[in-house]
Amino acid sequence: MNKPVEFYFDFSSPYGYLASLKSHEIERESGREVVYRPYLMGAVFKTTGRRPLADHPLVWDYARRDIERCARRIGTPFSLPEPFPVVTASACRAFYWTEEKEGHEAARDLAHRLYAAYFVEGRDISSREVVIAVAAGETHDADVVAGALEDEAIRQRLRDITAQSAQRGIFGSPFFLVDGEPFWGHDRIADVIEWSRRGGW
Amino acid sequence: MNKPVEFYFDFSSPYGYLASLKSHEIERESGREVVYRPYLMGAVFKTTGRRPLADHPLVWDYARRDIERCARRIGTPFSLPEPFPVVTASACRAFYWTEEKEGHEAARDLAHRLYAAYFVEGRDISSREVVIAVAAGETHDADVVAGALEDEAIRQRLRDITAQSAQRGIFGSPFFLVDGEPFWGHDRIADVIEWSRRGGW
C-alpha cells in the first residue's frame, strides 16, 4: 500500500485554496490518499526570515493578478478577502478536532467549507465566531465547537504540527510531501502526481 | 501579426536557464516569436527588498532540490555552479552587442551558449574572460568582443533595459510578458502559450 500524499497548507493562503480543489484529482491520478495538514505559516516565516507575499508591493501586485488568473483558468470562484492575510489558528483547531472526532473525510470537507467561506464568500475566518458557524453547520451544537477550540489537547496538536513542519523543511502553502520528497506550490501538482506514480525520477 | 512574447531573465538564474530551453516550444505552440531580454535581477532586488533564493537556507535547500529535479524531468544536463549566484553584466552586454551587430537569432544562440557554459560546464560567466571566450567562439576576434564590452552605448542599453524592467513590474527570472500580461516562473510556460493563443481568459 502506497503512503499517502501529505498536503500542508495555511487557511489564509490563496494558492493553498486552489490546491485544495485538486485533491480529488491527485487521488484519482496518483492512486494515493491525500492527507490534509493545515498549519500556521506565520510561525515558519519567523524561522526563515521570509515575509508574506502581500508584504512586497511589486510581488504582491503580480501575485494577486496571478491568483485571480489561475482561478479563472480553472473556472473556480475567487475573490480576495479583506482582511488578508489573517491568522487561522481557530480554523486549524476546528479541523483537527473534526479529524479526531469524525475522521479525515469529515475534516477535509470542513477544510473546503472554511476555504470557501474565506475566498468565495469573503467571511473573516480569523474570527472564532465565523469558524464556529462554519464548523457547526447544521449538524453540531455551536457550544460544543466553541469548547473544542479551547481544548488543550487540540491546541497542542496544532503547535506540534506547526513545529514539525519547520523541522521537516516545510515553509510554504501549498506544500506536498510524497514519500518524504517535498513539492512547493500548486504549480507542482503535476509533479506530485508523477512522483507518486513513479516513485521518483 | 501577433506581438512577440518578451522573455526577461538573468544569466545567473537556474530557472531562467530551464525556461530558455523551452523557447522553441513556446514559439511553435504559440505562433509568436520569443524575444530574449537578459537583465540584472540584482538591481530589482534593491527596489523590492527581496533577496536571492540562495539567501534563505530553508528555501534554498528546497529550491536547489527542485531545480535539479526539474532538470532531470526534462532530461537536460544541469550542475549548480560555484560561485553562485554571480553578477552577469558582461554576459548581458555581449548579448546586446551581438543582437545589434548580428540580429536576434545570433544573440539568442549566444544566450544558450552562455547558459550552458555556466550551468552545464560550470564556467564562471561573471568573468569577462569567460564571456569573451564564449562570445568570440570560432567566428569573432576576442579583441573585438573585449572592446564591445566597454562600449558605452551597449552599457547604456543594459542600464536602460534593467531600469525599464523595474518600471514594467518585472522582478524575477524567468519573467514573460504577453501583450503586457506578466507571467513569472518557468512553471507558467503552459499559461504563456495558452494566453498567447487565446489572448487571455
Q: What does the pLDDT read at residue B89? A: 97
Yes or no, beta carbons of B185 and A188 under 8 Å apart: no
Q: Contact B38/B92 with Cβ under 8 angstroms?
A: yes
Yes or no, beta carbons of A56 and B49 under 8 Å apart: yes
Mean pLDDT of B97-101: 95
- pLDDT at A107 > cutoff 80: yes
Looking at the DSSP bridge assignments, the partners of residue A178 are: A5, A181
Region label for A168, one of left (φ > 0), alpha (ψ between -120 and 50) or beta (otherwise): alpha
Mean pLDDT of A33-58: 83
Mean pLDDT of B172-200: 96
C-alpha cell at B136: 568570440
What number of other Cβ atoms are within 10 A of residue A55's Cβ? Answer: 13
- pLDDT at B50 > cutoff 80: no
- The sign of the CA dihedral B201, A20, A6, B52 is positive
- pLDDT at A138 > cutoff 80: no
Mean pLDDT of B9-32: 97
Give the percent of chain B with pLDDT over 70.
98
Yes or no, beta carbons of A50 and B72 under 8 Å apart: no
Mean pLDDT, rounded, of chain A: 94
- Inform me whether the C-beta atom of residue B45 falls under 8 Å from chain A C-beta atoms: no
- The DSSP result for A98-130, as a single string, is HHHHH-HHHHHHHHHHHHHHHHTS---TTSHHH
Q: Band of the pLDDT at B139, cuts 50, 70, 90?
A: confident
Q: DSSP secondary-structure letter at A186?
A: G
User: Is A171 strand, coil or helix?
Assistant: coil
Total residues belonging to chain A: 201
Residues of A whose CB is below 8 A from B67:
none
Q: DSSP secondary-structure letter at A2?
A: P
- pTM across the whole model: 0.93
Residues of A whose CB is below 8 A from B169:
58, 61-62
- Inform me whether the C-beta atom of residue B56 falls under 8 Å from chain A C-beta atoms: yes
- pLDDT at A51 > cutoff 90: no
Q: Band of the pLDDT at A108, cuts 50, 70, 90?
A: very high
All residues at 6 or more sequence positions from B81 whose CB lies less than 8 Å from its CB, including other chains: B118, B119, B122, B123, B124
- Inform me whether the C-beta atom of residue B197 falls under 8 Å from chain A C-beta atoms: no
Q: Contact B158/B150 with Cβ under 8 angstroms?
A: no
**Assembly ipTM:** 0.91
Give the percent of chain B with pLDDT over 90.
85
Tell me how far the alpha carbon of residue A155 is from its chain's centroid: 17
